[in-house]
Structure 1
Amino acid sequence: MQDQFEIRPARPQDVDAIQSCATEAFQQYVAAIGKKPAPMVADFAALIDAGHVYVAVQSPDRSLDQPPGNLLGYIVFFRSDTVVELENIAVRPSATGRGVGKALIQFCEDSARQGGAQAVALYTNAKMVENLAIYPHLGYQEIARRREDGFDRVFFKKTL
């Protein structure tokens, strides 16, 4: 299904769409967590300027009931020593189930391999139970649980 969208580096003009995507994807967790999850308050302009954000956008020649160029999801990742840190990923609810999230994670892993990284590390909130099931299915192993920045986080790592 990836042929229906493309992944490209985020541009400054994508900030509003990325923020909107984060809000749509994470709003459901505010009540359970007791505050906005970290992705909802991220400084996407700075992350884009640093070259850490990539977006999945609707391909111009296919239809996902979205106009061409429409942002379907995004991923934030960066290199830290021999590990790539997958900081944040979100898919618009209207685009879930279409392989967007999986393709973004695969893009991150492929970029990590190409850059010579040995692993990809990530964390999720303990209240985001769907993620706790998804990441092991994608080959990530839980390595720690701890409270950090006021959030109960579960840490995962995948050796490449």
Structure 2
Amino acid sequence: MTNPRPARPEDAAALRDLVRAAYAPWVAIIGREPAPMADDYVARIGSGQAWLVEEDGVLQAALILEDTPTGLLIDNVAVAQGAQGKGLGRALLAFAEAEARRRGQGRVWLYTHEKMERNLALYLRLGFIETGREEQAGFLRVFMEKRLDRRGG
């Protein structure tokens, strides 16, 4: 995987389009557009929260990271339809863990819709544990975390 790079203002439209396409299959499953489809990517880029992976100048994946008082929030991992199944999502999650350590955070956390079972299974395989479930803004969210040590576990 090409190392993620911080997104630049001129990337906003391509980032939005990638996320909308990546999450489109979930609309029928959860009954509405997932929250990342309506996010403000201009603001995310302006806040330094957006990271992109490109291959030969083509956007392949995106990651949104948000510092919180309780750890680094992995707010969004999106992989282009044609790039799925190649390990980019896993690589971005590993990058998020390394970034959390670099920032002095001892925990990464995320949430996903309870009907996104494939994602839940992946997070569990990667060492995340479920910490709770809650309805927020009409979404049935599953909260998960992974505690980090300083070495990489």
TM-score bracket relative to the smaller structure: over 0.9
What is the aligned-residue identity percentage?
39
Alignment-derived partner of residue 82 in structure 2 = 94
Distance (Å, rounded) in 2 between the aligned partners of 1:82 and 1:118: 9
Aligned residues: 148
Give the Å deviation of 1:91.
0.2
CA deviations over 1:48-105 (Å, ceiling 9, x no partner): 00000000111xxxxxxxxx12110100012112400111110001001212111111
8 Å CA contact 1:121–1:156 kept in 2: the answer is yes
* 3-state SS, counterpart of residue 71 of structure 1: strand
Unaligned runs of 5+ in 2: 149-153
Q: Which runs of 4+ in 1 moved over 3 A?
A: none
Distance (Å, rounded) in 2 between the aligned partners of 1:80 and 1:29: 27
* 3-state SS, counterpart of residue 64 of structure 2: strand
Alignment-derived partner of residue 29 in structure 1 = 26
Distance (Å, rounded) in 2 between the aligned partners of 1:131 and 1:112: 21
Alignment-derived partner of residue 72 in structure 1 = 60
Task: Tell me which of 137, 140, 143 is aligned to 1:149.
Answer: 137
TM-score normalised by the chain length of structure 2: 0.93
8 Å CA contact 1:82–1:116 kept in 2: the answer is no
Distance (Å, rounded) in 2 between the aligned partners of 1:6 and 1:77: 15
Unaligned runs of 5+ in 1: 59-67
